[in-house]
Amino acid sequence: MEESKITIFAGEGRGKSSAALGCAIIAASEGRRAVVIQFLKKRKMADSAFYKRLEPEIKFFRFEKSEVEYDQRSDENKQADAGNIRNGLSFARKVLSTGQCDLLVLDEILGVLNNQIISVEELRAILEDHADTDVILTGRTLDPEICSLADEILEISNIKEF
């Protein structure tokens, strides 16, 4: 059996979440179980009819309830969402420790770190249990501590925007 790995899709370019979702689709097409946990995104994405059609092969979870992007939320709403995000991360830990999937996508987890909702040490502790599960992390900004967690890092940048 191939050893599991941690992959990061990072950078200022568009398509990090799409690339991670593509990996989940490939995993599902191979008969593997995929779980996607989204952070810092407005609710509309998680309620997509398309996403619902991908279940049960790919299971989607979102613990925040906001209708707007994280950086547009009030400080009060951000604080409330921080607790929901932590619940999502507890769920991610459970998924990894119980082997509920073969691929876990933590979509926009780097933004959770950048917004100081959790620390790198907390993320490292969650990822310690990834034994037989591939994990994909997405987000804009990398720092050396995050890079040390990964087996593979792909930087996505815009060459031309439309």
User: What is the per-residue pLDDT across 6-16, written as a single tens digit (0 to 9) for each?
Assistant: 999 999 989 99
pTM (2 d.p.): 0.91
User: What is the per-residue pLDDT across 95-129, written as a single tens digit (0 to 9) for each?
Assistant: 999 999 999 999 999 999 999 999 999 999 999 87
Domain 6-155, CATH number (from 3.40.50.300, 3.40.50.2300, 2.30.130.10, 3.40.50.620): 3.40.50.300
pLDDT for residue 45: 56
User: What is the per-residue pLDDT across 127-145, written as a single tens digit (0 to 9) for each?
Assistant: 987 888 999 999 999 888 8
Distance in angstroms (rounded) separating the CA atoms of residues 118 and 115 = 8
pLDDT for residue 43: 60
Over residues 28-45, mean pLDDT: 86
- Please report the DSSP string for 44-68 in residue order: HHHT-HHHHHHTTTEEEEE----SS
The tokens for 60 are 């989607």
